């Protein structure tokens, strides 16, 4: 069984910002895209890079190491060298709380 865990507050994640949170030893990248919160794996699917050290632009995050970009809503890898998608986490927002479901 899985449940939602509060990981952050909306007020600490403005539009266009992202941050890493850790739940059950899983590093998760939270991103605010025009007011919609997305949660994907923080670890790049190509190698050992933290995407929270990368760049967010137009609903995508760019890896700081080799420049692959990922769709923050779907996790899809958009250009090489990464060719595997990121894990996408279910989230919900309750008031000011951002909650992530770990499965």
- Interface residues toward ligand FES, by CB under 6 A: 44, 46-47, 49, 63, 65-66, 68, 81-82
Among 99, 20, 68, CA closest to 60: 68
In terms of C-beta density within 10 A (0-12 exposed, 13-18 middle, 19 or more buried), how is residue 68 classed?
buried
Cα→Cα distances 72→2, 46, 56, 57, 77, Å: 22, 16, 9, 10, 10
Closest to ligand FES by CB, 66 vs 101, is 66
Closest to ligand FES by CB, 55 vs 58, is 55
Closest to ligand FES by CB, 33 vs 49, is 49
Question: Taking the complex as a whole, how short is the minimal distance between the CB of residue 18 and ligand FES, in angstroms?
Answer: 15
Question: Taking the complex as a whole, how short is the minimal distance between the CB of residue 43 and ligand FES, in angstroms?
Answer: 9
């Amino acid at each position: 069984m899985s449940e939602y865990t509060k990981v952050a507050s909306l007020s600490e994640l403005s539009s266009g910002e992202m941050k890493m949170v850790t739940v059950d030893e899983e590093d998760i990248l939270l991103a605010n895209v025009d007011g919609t919160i997305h949660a994907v794996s923080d670890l790049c699917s190509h190698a050992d890079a933290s995407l929270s050290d990368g760049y967010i632009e137009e609903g995508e995050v760019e890896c700081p190491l080799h420049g692959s970009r990922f769709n923050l809503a779907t996790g899809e890898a958009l250009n090489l060298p990464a060719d595997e998608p990121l894990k996408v986490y279910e989230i919900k927002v309750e008031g000011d709380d951002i909650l992530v479901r770990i499965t």
